[in-house]
Amino acid sequence: MVMPTKHTTVARSMLGIGAALLRMLDRPLTVSGLWDAAKGVPAIGSYQRFLLGLDLLYVLGAVELRGGRLRRAGQ
């Protein structure tokens, strides 16, 4: 689920995962570097959910890829 519902907590929703990923992007990171930092977060849980959260951030324009590194948009 993208949005939290009665059965999906904020942390386990794609918005929650996206927020957790944005907090980790305090400096530009490669996708694999971000995954290394994020794989220990219980709410993310799997590489598939990590990629869905990252895709959501990209579609929303919250992150961008420059020179092979992810960064928050506008950094």
Model confidence pLDDT, tens digit, residues 24-36: 999 999 999 999 9
Looking at residue 7, what is its pLDDT? 66
CATH of the domain at 23: 1.10.10
Higher pLDDT, 19 or 1: 19
Closest CA to 41 of 55, 65, 24: 24
Looking at residue 10, what is its pLDDT? 67
Average pLDDT over the chain reads 89
In a domain, 56, yes or no: yes
b/e code 40-67 from CB counts within 10 Å (16+ = b): ebebbeeeebbebbbebbeeeebbeeee
In a domain, 24, yes or no: yes
Which domain covers residue 43, as residue numbers? 14-72
Does 14 score more than 90 pLDDT?
no
Q: How many structural domains does the chain have?
A: 1
The CA distance from 23 to 45, in Å, is 17
In a domain, 39, yes or no: yes
Looking at residue 59, what is its pLDDT? 95
